[in-house]
């Protein structure tokens, strides 16, 4: 199928350069790029379940802005 599209000049030059480097046509470069893009769009993203923990909040005296004291608390000091 033939179609006309406007492509950024620098992007087109880069695609032509890739075609020369790979020894194939500009058409093949564009088709492969579109296939890769469409394949990525069709794959559903995996659902990642993060663990959650119950609790009553921070321990008294914990300062989240003080990494040294946080490390001391985590180390049991």
Write out pLDDT tens, residues 9-53.
999 999 999 999 999 999 999 999 999 999 888 778 889 999 988
Rounded to two decimals, the pTM is 0.52
Q: For tokens 């492509």, what's the residue? A: 7
Q: Would you say the C-alpha torsion 68, 69, 72, 73 has a positive or negative sign?
A: negative
Nearest C-alpha neighbor of 26 from the set 34, 35, 17: 17
């Amino acid at each position: 199928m033939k179609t006309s599209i406007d492509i950024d000049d620098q992007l087109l030059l880069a695609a032509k350069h890739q075609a020369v480097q790979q020894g194939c046509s500009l058409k093949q470069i564009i088709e492969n790029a579109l296939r890769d893009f469409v394949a990525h769009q069709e794959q559903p993203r995996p659902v990642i379940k993060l663990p959650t923990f119950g609790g009553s909040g921070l321990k008294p005296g914990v300062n989240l802005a003080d990494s040294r004291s946080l490390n001391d608390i985590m180390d049991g000091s």
